[in-house]
Amino acid sequence: MRCSRVAVVCAAALLTGCGDEEKTPAEQPADAREEAVRPADARPETPAGETPQSVDAADAQRGTVSETVPPEKAKTVTAAAEGTTEAPAEQGTSAESLYQQACGLLQNDSEDASKKAVEVLTKAAGLGHAAAQYKLGSCYRQGVGVPADLAQAVSWFEKSAAANDPQAQRELAFMYHQGEGVERDLAKAEQYYSAVTAQNPDDVESLVLLGFVQAETEDRLPEAVSTFRKAVEKGNPYAQVALGVLTLQGRGGIAADAAEAYRLFAASAEQGVADALCNQGYCLETGTGTAKDEARAVECYTKAIAALPLPQAKYNLSLCYLNGRGVAKDVQKAMPLLVDAANAGLADALCELSRCCALGIGVPKDEKQAFDLCAQAAQAGSAEAQYALAQYFRGGEVVEKDETFARKCLEAAAANGHALAKKELEAK
């Protein structure tokens, strides 16, 4: 399934489900969560810092404000008119005529036509035609008519962007934001997105993505809030998700307001945004900003997965099935969802799957596999897994006993806010 560019970045900010006090792997209930609201997967916190795990952008990557974008990329190489692999003999050789000829060739799906189009685009681009430079960069980026070459793509995009072509500026902004073919550079990403929105204030997608870039730096959050609000005024559902997360957390100069956050999530969810549906489900599951309704939460998670297979939504729904929360308890339905989320690298899912392996819930009991999964979850940043790992190295049953490393695990868990880890360290 393809999704919008904003969707890809937004998926970093998702909310995670509710949970009980931290317990050791053997005691941990299937629905335990490290925190009610924490950063989701994907890029460094989105909008910035810690964001509830249910949205992404960004990929959002760890981060959260739904990590809700590799955004949908409609084929960037579009054509102005149909053409054949042969150039009409009467066609002129000006940059514009070459460009139009290439557009016609790209309408033809054949490999020969695509190769010919690249040849013609190269001539037009060499004559300084900005649109041709952009389209040629797109061909190199997507491997249309030529082997994919991101370095060449960036080179041609930069030439086109220098001539103020907004499409090239948008592509470069996204590539610098995601570190695609270039070293990740938030300053350049912001520069290009700002240039696009300055030329076209109605380009709301670029405005939202500009907000996500600003949100990755804590002291820029107030600016991100302002940017998201502008996009919300234009009805953008992804901006609603981002603003909802910041409102729930009370960051960026916004007073914490769970009811307003839920309103924003619900408004975005009505437009089918997967991240919003996931966050709305979290709020309904936990009674955050709205009346608790576990059955509706299950519906929201299910709709979110149908719209876009978000690992966070799969994880949240798996816990509902494991614990019979809002739906009949069904371990067989829970496990595929949990495994999918774990395979996607979601720290909470890895930690929960480790617990299931240790206790033989839904899978054969396997202490070694449980330890391996716990180590992966700890490395991915799960405080609960870091605490559990400390217990493994203290006990010395599955792995060689190592009190020094166990303490390091406890310290890492405590630094990530794990209450029991903090108490144990304070007691020593």
In a domain, 20, yes or no: yes
397 part of a folded domain: no
In a domain, 116, yes or no: no
Q: Which two tokens stand for residue 306?
A: 């149908």
pLDDT class of 109 with cuts at 50, 70, 90: confident
Flag whether 362 is in a domain: yes
Answer yes or no: are the C-beta atoms of 228 and 208 closer than 8 Å. Answer: yes
pLDDT tier for residue 427 given thresholds of 50, 70 and 90 = confident
**Cα angle 12-153-68, degrees, rounded to a multiple of 5:** 10
What's residue 83's pLDDT? 35
**111/322 Cα distance (integer angstroms):** 50
Whether residue 101 lies inside any domain: the answer is no
Q: Which domain holds residue 303?
A: 5-77+144-381
- Cα angle 377, 15, 242 (rounded to 5 degrees) comes to 125
Residue 278 tokens read as: 């996931």
Judge residue 157's burial from the number of C-beta atoms within 10 Å of its C-beta, 0-12 exposed, 13-18 middle, 19 or more buried.
buried
User: Using 50, 70 and 90 to split pLDDT, how confident is the model at 200?
Assistant: very high
pLDDT band at 252 (very low <50, low <70, confident <90, very high): very high
Name the residue with higher pLDDT: 38 or 363.
363
**DSSP collapsed to 3 states, 54-122:** ECCCCCCCECCCCCCCCCCCCCCCCCCCCCCCCCCCCCCCCHHHHHHHHHHHHCCCCHHHHHHHHHHHH
Q: How far apart are CA 364 and CA 63, in angstroms?
A: 33
Q: Give domain status of residue 70, yes or no.
A: yes
Contacts of 303 (CB under 8 A, 6+ apart): 269, 272, 277
Q: Tell me how far apart the alpha carbons of residues 374 and 380 are, in angstroms, rounded to a whole number.
A: 10
Give the model's pLDDT for residue 65: 32
In terms of Cβ atoms closer than 10 Å to its own Cβ (0-12, 13-18, 19+), residue 423 is exposed
Query: Among 359, 288, 354, 285, which residue's Cα sits nearest to residue 317?
Result: 285
Number of domains in the chain: 1
Q: Tell me the HSE value of 120 on the side-chain side, using a 13 A CA sphere.
A: 29
Q: Which of 44-53, 144-153, 167-176 comes out lowest in average pLDDT?
A: 44-53
Assign residue 183 the CATH number of its domain. Answer: 1.25.40.10
Greater pLDDT, 340 or 30:
340
Q: In angstroms, what CA-CA distances link 377 with 23, 28, 116, 282? A: 16, 15, 49, 21
Helix 130-142 / helix 166-178 crossing angle, nearest 10 deg: 40
Question: What would the pLDDT profile of 280-329 be if each residue is shown by its tens digit?
Answer: 999 999 999 999 999 999 999 999 999 999 999 999 999 999 999 999 99
- d(CA 221, CA 410) in angstroms, rounded, equals 31
CA dihedral for 194, 195, 199, 204, sign (positive or negative): negative
Whether 94 maps to a domain, the answer reads no
Which amino acid is residue 46, in one-letter code?
A: T
Let me know if residue 124 belongs to a domain.
Answer: no
DSSP SS3 for 51? coil
pTM: 0.75
Residues with Cβ within 8 Å of 427's Cβ and at least 6 positions away in sequence, in order, are none
pLDDT at 59 over 70: no
Q: Which residue has the higher pLDDT, 21 or 257?
A: 257
Shortest CA distance to 325 belongs to which of 265, 365, 284? 284
Q: How far is residue 118's CA from residue 137's CA, in Å, rounded to a whole number?
A: 10
pLDDT given at position 89: 34
Q: What pLDDT was estimated at residue 71? A: 36
